[in-house]
Each structure stands twice: as C-alpha cells, then as structure tokens.
C-alpha cells in the first residue's frame, strides 16, 4: 500500500515538473481530496491512491500544445480528429501516461485512469475518478467564478442533504452544465466524454436508469 513517505517523495519530485502556481493548485487539490475522501468514506487504500492521483494530475500541464501532440506521437497515445480542437484535454492523456512512466511503482492503473479523465470526466466513474475531478474543480485556491460557485453549492448541499450519492449526482451534473455553458459561450468544442458524463449523471437524478 502507498505510504505517507511515498507522498512526501512525490511532492518533492513534482516540483520539477510544475510551475509555482500549478504546484500550489496541485497541493490544494490533494488537500481537497483528503477532505472529500473523509466526507465520502473512502477506505485508506483508495484514499492514498486519490492523493497520488491529485499530486500527479497536472504533471504535463506545462507542455505547449505542440509538445502535447509530440508526446502523444512518440508514445502512441491515441486521440481523435475532434480532440485536436479540445487542447485542454491533452494534459490529462499525457499526464496519465507520464505518471505511469515516471512513478509506475506507486501510480497503478486506477490512479492513471483517474488522471486521464480529470478534465472531461466520463459516464459511470468510480469514486476515485469522481473525487479527483471534483477536487480539481472546487479546490479553494481556484478563484474562477464557476469554481467558487460550485464549491459553495457543494458544501451547502453536503450540509443540507443526507443522501451523499444524490449530492454527487447533482454536483457533477451542475459542473458539466457550467462547463458546457462556458464552452458554448466561447464557441468551443464540447468533448463527447463530458456530454456522456452529463447525460449519465442527469439520468441518475431523474431516475431514468
């Protein structure tokens, strides 16, 4: 199992790959993951996995778009024609790959999969994937208005609603709505994984399973 000591080493290592602002964000995502793991009763083994995923999730964020494409080409990472027009998602794909390459002794498949979907999300996520996605959105150092709003709504729901699964379904759906609205306003491409995630979690709320 992953130990605190492994996390300490990882924290030192990632500072080589992240700028100072991104490092602050990354450490804040880890802290938010700890808080969320507590709320949702994640077992110790998965809580440690979630913290590793948090520390590594933006490891390739510094790459330019060209570097992202080159990394994909050199490492046989598949992307669709459509994805060429969603540049923000590349760091999730390359990050998942690099996490395995550099830290494969602690970053297992479950961790890498969570990193891979931390930007778009996807339908039917496991709790580690959900909590990394959510922590990345609502960690308190983020001051983008959607993040601030979503964070406030999430903690208000946690305080008022007892059904944790319903809270997750609602907050995930709300986050996808905000993301999709922003993309439409900016005339940007919506990644199909985000659309299918939104449809999956809204169906859960509407009980149309």
Residues that bind Fe ion (CB under 5 A): 58, 136
Closest contact distance (angstroms) between CB of 157 and Fe ion is: 22
Cβ-based nearer residue to Fe ion, 27 or 171: 27
Closest contact distance (angstroms) between CB of 67 and Fe ion is: 15
The owner of tokens 């993951």 is 33
Closest contact distance (angstroms) between CB of 104 and Fe ion is: 20
Cβ-based nearer residue to Fe ion, 57 or 204: 57
CA distances to 19, 44, 132, 153, 178 from 128, in Å: 25, 12, 6, 21, 22
Cβ-based nearer residue to Fe ion, 30 or 136: 136
Closest contact distance (angstroms) between CB of 61 and Fe ion is: 6
Closest contact distance (angstroms) between CB of 205 and Fe ion is: 26
Cβ-based nearer residue to Fe ion, 58 or 113: 58
Cβ-based nearer residue to Fe ion, 149 or 164: 149
């Amino acid at each position: 199992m992953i130990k605190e000591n492994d996390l300490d080493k990882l924290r030192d290592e990632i500072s080589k790959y992240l700028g100072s602002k991104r490092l602050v964000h990354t450490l804040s995502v880890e802290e938010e993951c700890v808080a969320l793991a507590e709320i949702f009763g994640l077992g110790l083994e998965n809580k440690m996995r979630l913290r590793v995923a948090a520390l590594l999730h933006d490891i390739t964020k510094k790459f330019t778009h060209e570097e992202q494409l080159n990394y994909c080409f050199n490492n046989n990472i598949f992307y669709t024609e459509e994805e060429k027009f969603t540049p923000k998602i590349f760091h999730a794909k390359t990050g998942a790959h690099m996490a395995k390459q550099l830290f494969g002794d602690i970053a297992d498949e479950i961790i890498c999969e969570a990193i891979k979907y931390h930007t778009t999300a996807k339908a039917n996520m496991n709790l580690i994937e959900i909590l990394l996605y959510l922590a990345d959105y609502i960690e308190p150092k983020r001051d983008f208005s959607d993040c601030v709003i979503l964070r406030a709504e999430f903690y208000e729901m946690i305080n008022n609603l007892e059904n944790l699964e319903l809270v997750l379904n609602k907050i995930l759906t709300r986050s996808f709505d905000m993301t999709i609205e922003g993309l439409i306003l900016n005339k940007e491409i919506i990644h199909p994984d985000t659309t299918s995630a939104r449809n999956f979690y809204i169906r859960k709320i509407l009980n149309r399973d």
